[in-house]
Amino acid sequence: MIRRFLLAGAAGLILVAPVARGVETVEVSIVDYQFNPSELKVSRGTTVKWVNNEKRTAHSVLFLGPDGFESERFFPGETFSWTFDQPGSYPYRCGPHEEMKGRIEVSE
């Protein structure tokens, strides 16, 4: 599985792996200490972009499970993106705020 992610904000854009052109992108808004929507069903190859719409708080996306990892913290106005290349269920939460939970369901 190729993992791709972007961290964008005031400091610019960090590209860790190339992102395929023409791939669908779906946004998750972070506001009031919630992921909105908290659950998504997407097709394989979809990029999910989390947007921090808070006024003062940094968040992260922490994928749970044996292959889990945590994004860098991103501040208001910044984003984190991830392309889901494999079908499956991907539960996640905010690293610093355990009560913030979400799930991405990826189909073929």
Q: Which domain holds residue 15?
A: 5-107
Look at the chain and report how many structural domains it folds into. Answer: 1
Going by C-beta distance under 8 Å and a sequence separation of 6 or more, which residues neighbour residue 36? 28, 29, 30
Chunk the chain into consecutive blocks of 10 residues (it has 108) and report each block's average pLDDT, rounded to whole numbers: 46 39 82 97 97 97 92 98 95 98 96
Bridge-based pairing state of the strands 25-31 and 34-36: antiparallel
How much is the pTM?
A: 0.79
pLDDT of residue 65: 84
The Cβ of residue 107 has, within 10 Å, a number of other Cβ atoms equal to 11
